[in-house]
Amino acid sequence: MRALATNGEVITVEPGELIFRSGEPGDCMFGLLEGQVELSWNGDEGHEQINAGDVFGAGALVTSEHRRYGNAKAITPCRVLVMNREKFLFAVQESPMFAIELLSSIDQRLRQLKDCTKI
């Protein structure tokens, strides 16, 4: 993901700043290069912490007329890679392992969320 950052748009986000809000249209996903982000949904009933190296908001790349399901807020100072569908498809063509790593990251996060809901 860091290699993609050289050709992509990287934004800086301060603690407490929203990256996206529930209900907003989405046309890009995000890769967290540095810092921590909190995802929250269902009126803040659900929470997940995103760490450097993780991606979030990927649903926007696979769902037409996507609306954000929850909020994404910086917990610490963050550097975030913004990747639209075009940049994502380019990354997958240039490095097919990127797609495998992305799926692995998403699968790991889903497993962690499932484990949390068993408690």
CATH number at residue 28: 2.60.120.10
Question: Does residue 19 register a pLDDT over 80?
Answer: yes
d(Cα 13, Cα 51) in Å, to the nearest integer?
Answer: 14
Long-range contacts of 113-117 (CB under 8 A, 24+ apart): 113/48
- Sign of the alpha-carbon dihedral angle for 106, 111, 112, 113: positive
Segments forming the whole domain that contains residue 45: 2-117
Query: How many separate domains does the chain show?
Result: 1
Give per-residue pLDDT as tens, 39-97: 999 887 888 999 998 889 988 888 888 899 999 999 999 999 999 888 888 888 888 88
